[in-house]
Amino acid sequence: MNPVGAALIALVIGAALGFALNRFIIKGRTARAADDAVRVVKDAEKQAETLKKEALIEAKDQIFRMKQEAEDEAKERRKEITALENRLAQREESIDRRAESLDKREHQLSSQQGQIAKREKDLEELIEEERNRLQSLAGMTADEAKAHLMRTVEDEVKHDAAAFIRETEARAREEADKKARNIVGIAIQRVAADHTAESTVSVVHIPSDDMKGRIIGREGRNIRAFEQLTGINLIIDDTPEAVILSSFDPVRREIGRITLETLLADGRIHPARIEEMFNKAEEQVAQQVQEAGEQAAFDTGVHGLHAELVRTLGRLKFRTSYGQNVLKHSTEVSHLAGVMAAELGVDVTLAKRAGLLHDLGKAIDHDIEGPHAIIGADLARRMNEPKTILHCIEAHHGDVEPATVEAVLVQAADAISAGRPGARRETLESYIKRLEKLEAVAQSQQGVEKCYAMQAGREIRVMVKPEQINDADAVVLARDIAKQIEEELEYPGQIKVMVIRESRAVDYAK
């Protein structure tokens, strides 16, 4: 056998052996895989059975818990129902008892009504018997006795009424005065304002009387140019080293004063120079007016004012009333009204705003006719101020009846600011006339013997005739005098009326 044939035979034998060995190995693996699959299936079945048992046990536990909770809730509901039933039963018993009590009370009332009717009848019979007996004893008829009784009762009632009026007024006045003094005292303490006394006429001092001729100019051309530009009167008289500026408009007067002082300091006085200085003074005063209005609004904490209102407020810096600077007075009224509003718990912002604007009309009342309160309210209305502010402005002098607490507070603050010591000046003539009128009002009352105005017209003391006015009448007389003063006189603050009744018994030992 050749080598090639032997190699082929060996190759064939090897292939057959490899194939047989491969099939044996594959069969072994297949058998093991089948065994593993059977084992996995059995394990899965065991695990599924275990999970099923656990799920059943857990479901049974949950059902038991839910059943227990339902039973507990049912027990609570049964307890609540039982308690409600008990309360209803008790309430029914209480209602039954009340019904029985009401029936008994109704029976008693009906019985008492019968007794009362019987007693009324008995009393009427007794009164008639007593009336007949009194007539027989007194010798008076029923009408005569009634008239006598009415006179007696009238005197007693008059005396009791006077005593009651005196006691009630004293108690009310004491409480009101205490509260008012407390509020006003707090307001005045917290608002420290300077005493002002300014002149309404501007006086400009000049270096020498020779300067008067230069002010007048050749044939009066300088003074004519000055008066034509400024719109004020320049009075040059025999007053040494002084000239007087007169104008109904305080702002114009201030512009004229600054213009003249600037001309005197410069020394060059002629129409062209006067016009130049006048324009500068006008700008300067306009700036002062703007700054004064803004400062007043800032000092009082009033914001959001229209620019025209601010400028009008600033003009009040040059306006005075009885010697009192109106802008300072308006600022003071704003502070006072705000403090009193805070004490009373009302709108502080409204009270302060109305207090600042209340005298707005005085800045333009020389151009518009009418009361300054109405003028100021019209101006504020055009500047879209709220109706509550307009009412406070209109009502602060009684032109309109105050309808809000803030309006009354502004009115009171205005009186406090104007009436405090040193705030205003009053001419001697008007002061004397006011005192004479005050005494005349008191003297016009019947039974008055003498009367005197005291404490600069803040008090009136009235001496009455004791044989005509008794103690009860004195109380009524004081009230009547006070009412007449309120109706006929105008005065700041309040006036105390004191009625004095004095009885004297005089004898001599001999």
List pLDDT tens digits, range 77-130: 889 998 898 889 898 888 888 888 888 888 888 888 888 888 888 888 888 887
Record the tokens describing residue 158, joined without a space. Answer: 């008059």
- CA–CA gap between residue 410 and residue 404 (Å, rounded): 10
320 has which bridge partners?
325
Tell me which DSSP letter residue 404 carries: S
Q: Which of 71-75, 361-365, 404-408 has the lowest mean pLDDT?
A: 361-365
**Coil, strand or helix at 319:** coil
> Nearest to residue 320, comparing CAs of 392, 248, 393, 256?
248
- CA–CA gap between residue 185 and residue 177 (Å, rounded): 11
Please say whether the beta carbons of 162 and 472 come within 8 A: yes
Please say whether the beta carbons of 312 and 360 come within 8 A: yes
Predicted confidence band at 508 (pLDDT cuts at 50, 70, 90)?
confident
How many helices and strands in the chain, by DSSP H and E?
14, 8
Q: Does the structure show a pLDDT above 70 at 241?
A: yes
Record the tokens describing residue 396, joined without a space. Answer: 């602060």
Give the H/E segment covering residue 471: helix 471-488
- CA–CA gap between residue 445 and residue 464 (Å, rounded): 10
Average pLDDT over residues 457-483: 87
* Buried/exposed 207-240: b ≥16 CB within 10 Å, e otherwise: eeeebbebbbbeeeebbebbbebbebebebeeee
pLDDT of residue 198: 42
Amino acid (1-letter code) at residue 148: H
| Cα dihedral 53, 55, 56, 60 sign | positive
Q: Does the structure show a pLDDT above 70 at 200?
A: no
Give the H/E segment covering residue 448: strand 448-454
- CA–CA gap between residue 124 and residue 85 (Å, rounded): 58
Amino acid (1-letter code) at residue 451: C
- CA–CA gap between residue 340 and residue 191 (Å, rounded): 11
pLDDT digits (tens, 9 = 90+) for 268-283: 888 888 888 888 988 9
- CA–CA gap between residue 424 and residue 324 (Å, rounded): 5
Predicted confidence band at 142 (pLDDT cuts at 50, 70, 90)?
low
Predicted confidence band at 41 (pLDDT cuts at 50, 70, 90)?
confident
Please say whether the beta carbons of 417 and 333 come within 8 A: yes
Higher-confidence position of 304 and 504: 304
Strand order in the sheet with 459-464: 448-454, 459-464, 496-501
Give the H/E segment covering residue 138: helix 3-138
Record the tokens describing residue 91, joined without a space. Answer: 């309430």
pLDDT of residue 389: 92
Average pLDDT over residues 477-482: 89
Please say whether the beta carbons of 283 and 269 come within 8 A: no
C-alpha dihedral (275, 280, 282, 285), degrees to nearest 10: -150
Predicted confidence band at 158 (pLDDT cuts at 50, 70, 90)?
confident
Question: Hey, which bits of 331-403 come out as E strands?
Answer: none
DSSP string, 179-206: HHHHHHHHHHHH---------SSEEEE-
Predicted confidence band at 178 (pLDDT cuts at 50, 70, 90)?
low
451 has which bridge partners?
462
Highest mean pLDDT among 145-149, 171-175, 226-230: 226-230
Please say whether the beta carbons of 219 and 375 come within 8 A: no
Q: Nearest 5°: CA angle at 137, between 136 and 138?
A: 100
Q: How many CA atoms lie within 13 A of 377 on its CB side?
A: 19
**Coil, strand or helix at 403:** coil
Record the tokens describing residue 31, joined without a space. Answer: 């058998």
Higher-confidence position of 142 and 460: 460
Please say whether the beta carbons of 500 and 191 come within 8 A: no
- CA–CA gap between residue 78 and residue 82 (Å, rounded): 6
Average pLDDT over residues 294-307: 89
- Give Cα 395 distance to the centre of its chain: 15
